[in-house]
Amino acid sequence: MHNLAVFASGTGSNFEAIADACADGRLDARVALMVCDKPGAAVIAKAESRGIQTFVFNPKSYPSKAAYETEIVRLLNDAGVELICLAGYMRIIGDVLLKAYEGRIINIHPSLLPAFKGAHAVEDALAYGVKVLGVTIHYVNSELDGGRIIAQKAYEFDGDDAEEAHRIGHEIEHQLYVETIAKLIK
């Protein structure tokens, strides 16, 4: 049984997909800690209703990124976390966390990286007029949506309906994230 941490800032549908896969045995793992940098985010209630330990913090109440990451590393160590899965965590990981969990932090991003980095990847891709969208899972380094690619999945999309693109993209994300974590912890 492996201990995972999931970091999220918003809705938490990828968090749910991972937690569900742990609960029904598709992943030989448990979510030992959910970290959220947005007090009030929907993901918090989702973690609490599953009895998953949460660490919710406001970055502004800390003097620096190093200060809150030091606190996070302490909690990760206490929980025996082996792999950190960023799932819509909209914050660059700093040196403290990168050093403590080098090679053990992964992220999911809703584009075929290196195209369309950032917080509005689907909208940016649609505005560009691309006909193939996709999802990437990659190791995390100090750059925004940077780091070695682990898995990608593309889907054809013709049009400009961002809501529909997000719906299809999320379905792919949930499946690809669980499959990729399963391979990494094997």
Contacts with ligand GAR, residue ranges (CB under 6 A): 8, 10-14, 87-88, 108-110, 119, 121, 145, 170, 173
147 touches 78 (CB < 8 A): no
CB of 175 to ligand GAR, least distance (A): 13
Question: Between residues 8 and 22, which has the closer beta carbon with respect to ligand GAR?
Answer: 8
Question: Between residues 75 and 162, which has the closer beta carbon with respect to ligand GAR?
Answer: 162
Q: Which residue's beta carbon is nearest to the bound ligand GAR? A: 88
CB of 70 to ligand GAR, least distance (A): 24
The residue count for the chain = 186
Question: Between residues 72 and 176, which has the closer beta carbon with respect to ligand GAR?
Answer: 176
The single residue of 2, 109, 120, 138 carrying the catalytic annotation is 109
152 touches 186 (CB < 8 A): no
CB of 60 to ligand GAR, least distance (A): 21
Query: What angle do the packed helices 13-23 and 42-49 form, to 10 degrees?
Result: 10
* Per-residue CA distances from 19 to 98, 130, 160, 177 (Å): 24, 33, 32, 11
CB of 111 to ligand GAR, least distance (A): 8
The count of other CB atoms within 10 Å of the CB of residue 121 is 22
Torsion angle (degrees, nearest 10) of CA 142, 148, 152, 158:
50
33 touches 55 (CB < 8 A): yes
Question: Between residues 12 and 147, which has the closer beta carbon with respect to ligand GAR?
Answer: 12
Task: Based on the residue annotation, tell me whether 120 is a catalytic residue of this protein.
Answer: no
In sequence order, the 6+-apart residues with CB closer than 8 A to the CB of 186 are none
Residues designated as active site: 109
